């Protein structure tokens, strides 16, 4: 039996960095059409080094796609000079696709997020932007603001993926378990900054926002994000994951209102579990969904923990009626996560309403 060989990543000779120290800090390779730049785990990139290596990169005017990754434990917090990673790509004028990822435990902090935001602002020709800030990067609300506002100048942006992770770990002390949230917490201010940028990006067709648990968006941050999304009338694909962010019915309602402007939407994936949706939020969300006449695929995770997101049977029936009006819907997944076991009887409320949808071929209901 023959073995399958992985495709090797080819080093870019054109970017030879001319000294051994560079090889211990950076790894520059070609991955398909993209130039991938990694600052290696535990490395420190100082300003003078970044400026030197940037000149080598800018010698090539045919770079249109870059993947920039800061591996784990590249500590930005101790030395501001280490934040200069993002200056590596600051002068590449023709860049059209950019993926930025800072991995776990980099402690990007305010200085790093400010530097990152400033770098992104330079790329007015970007069409695709992917930002992933993993656990323990210590953004805070001001850091979230810097990154959220970073793509205001990207008027040609068509695809946006914005992921802010939050981290939960356990600490055992004398038979006690202590839950410790350590990470990003972009809060209301981060949501507002994100909205401010989206309002200026009218060509967006694909948006993925993953703002994970305990980033403390609250209703005010969700309202801002909803207002930003309302401007995205050309969207065909929306993935919104904002579970467990202390969002009340006003915030969920604004998300529902924003959906009404997305007449071209084909795919919708929403995770709002473990917030505080209540009746008004559920109704507004349902009203927004039922206007999506072209929708082909829907994934909806409502979910509740205790009384969070609690909705009555009548509201679930109303959601079912809304789903039944989506005449082009082919795929539907609804997840009701419940730890009090009082939603199991509501499964039929949804199923009875949606089962007659004319083009529906796949329908899944998850209860736990």
pLDDT > 70? residue 168 = no
Whether 267 is in a domain gets the answer no
124 near 93, Cβ under 8 Å? no
pLDDT band with cut points at 50, 70 and 90 for residue 260: very high
Whether 269 is in a domain gets the answer no
pLDDT > 80? residue 211 = yes
What is the model's pLDDT at position 253?
A: 93
d(CA 130, CA 69): 11
Whether 186 is in a domain gets the answer yes
Regarding predicted confidence, which is higher, 6 or 361?
361
What is the model's pLDDT at position 28?
A: 78
Supply φ then ψ for residue 76, to 5 degrees. -90, -20
Q: pLDDT tens digit string along 302-334?
A: 865 445 555 666 677 778 888 888 999 999 998
Which range has the worst mean pLDDT, 104-113, 127-136, 222-231?
104-113
Expressed in percent and rounded to 5, the helix, strand and coil fractions of the chain are: 35, 25, 45
Whether 192 is in a domain gets the answer yes
What is the model's pLDDT at position 78?
A: 41
pLDDT > 90? residue 60 = no
Q: Provide the domain limits for residue 96.
A: 10-216
Regarding predicted confidence, which is higher, 146 or 53?
146
d(CA 28, CA 43): 14
Token digits of residue 152: 């205001």
* Nearest residue to 235 (alpha-carbon basis) of 261, 212, 210: 261
Q: pLDDT tens digit string along 110-167?
A: 777 887 888 888 888 999 999 888 766 666 777 778 888 888 889 999 999 988 875 5
pLDDT band with cut points at 50, 70 and 90 for residue 245: confident
Q: pLDDT tens digit string along 83-99?
A: 456 667 777 778 899 99
pLDDT > 60? residue 82 = no
Say how many CA atoms lie within 13 Å of 121 toward its Cβ: 13
Whether 84 is in a domain gets the answer yes
Token digits of residue 302: 């409502």
d(CA 139, CA 360): 43
Q: pLDDT tens digit string along 33-44?
A: 888 888 776 666
Whether 295 is in a domain gets the answer no
> Residue 100 maps to which CATH number?
3.80.10
Whether 358 is in a domain gets the answer no
What is the model's pLDDT at position 39?
A: 76
CB atoms within 10 A of CB 340: 10
- Residue 155 parent element (H or E): none
Planar angle of CA 233, 238, 243, nearest 5 degrees = 125
What is the model's pLDDT at position 348?
A: 64
Number of domains in the chain: 1
What is the model's pLDDT at position 157?
A: 93
Long-range contacts of 342-350 (CB under 8 A, 24+ apart): 343/304, 343/316, 343/367, 345/313, 346/313, 346/316, 349/313, 349/316, 349/317, 349/320, 350/316, 350/317, 350/319, 350/320, 350/323
Regarding predicted confidence, which is higher, 25 or 308?
25
Neighbour-count burial for 40-50, b at 16+ CB within 10 Å, e otherwise: beebbbeeebb
Token digits of residue 356: 């007659």
- Partners of residue 163 on adjacent β-strands: 132, 210
pLDDT > 90? residue 256 = yes
50 near 88, Cβ under 8 Å? yes
Regarding predicted confidence, which is higher, 16 or 249?
249
Regarding predicted confidence, which is higher, 312 or 301?
301
61, burial (CB in 10 Å: exposed 0-12, middle 13-18, buried 19+): exposed
Whether 195 is in a domain gets the answer yes
What is the model's pLDDT at position 282?
A: 85
Supply φ then ψ for residue 348, to 5 degrees. -65, -30
d(CA 197, CA 151): 6
């Amino acid at each position: 039996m023959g073995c399958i060989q992985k495709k090797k990543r080819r080093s870019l000779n054109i970017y030879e960095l001319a000294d051994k120290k560079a090889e211990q800090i950076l790894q520059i390779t070609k991955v398909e059409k993209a130039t991938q730049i990694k600052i290696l785990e535990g490395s420190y990139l100082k300003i003078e080094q970044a400026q030197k290596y940037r000149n080598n990169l800018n010698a090539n005017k045919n770079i249109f796609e870059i993947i920039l990754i800061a591996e784990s434990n590249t500590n930005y917090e101790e030395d501001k000079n280490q934040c200069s990673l993002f200056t590596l790509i600051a002068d590449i004028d023709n860049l059209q696709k950019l993926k930025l990822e800072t991995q776990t435990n980099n402690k990007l902090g305010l200085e790093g997020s400010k530097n990152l935001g400033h770098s992104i602002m330079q790329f007015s020709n970007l069409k695709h932007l992917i930002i992933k800030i993993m656990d323990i990067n210590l953004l805070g609300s001001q850091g979230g603001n810097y990154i959220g506002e970073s793509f205001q100048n990207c008027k040609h942006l068509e695809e946006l993926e914005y992921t802010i992770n939050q981290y939960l770990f356990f600490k055992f002390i004398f038979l006690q378990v202590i839950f410790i949230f350590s990470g990003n917490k972009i809060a209301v201010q981060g949501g507002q900054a994100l909205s401010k940028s989206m309002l200026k990006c009218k060509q967006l067709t694909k948006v993925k926002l993953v703002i994970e648990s305990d980033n403390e968006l609250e209703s005010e941050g969700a309202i801002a994000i909803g207002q930003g999304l309302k401007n995205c009338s050309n969207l065909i694909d929306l993935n919104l994951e904002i579970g467990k962010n202390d969002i009340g019915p006003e915030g969920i309602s604004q998300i529902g209102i924003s959906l009404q402007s997305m007449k071209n939407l084909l795919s919708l994936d929403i995770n709002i579990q473990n917030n505080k949706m209540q009746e008004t939020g559920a109704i507004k969300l349902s009203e927004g969904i039922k206007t999506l006449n072209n929708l082909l695929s829907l994934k909806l995770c409502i979910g509740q923990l205790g009384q969070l997101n609690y909705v009555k049977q009548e509201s679930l029936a109303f959601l079912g009626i809304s789903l039944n009006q989506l005449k082009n819907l082919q795929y539907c997944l609804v997840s009701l996560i419940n730890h009090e076991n009082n939603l199991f009887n509501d499964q039929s409320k949804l199923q009875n309403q949606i089962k007659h949808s004319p083009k529906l071929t796949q329908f899944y209901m998850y209860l736990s």
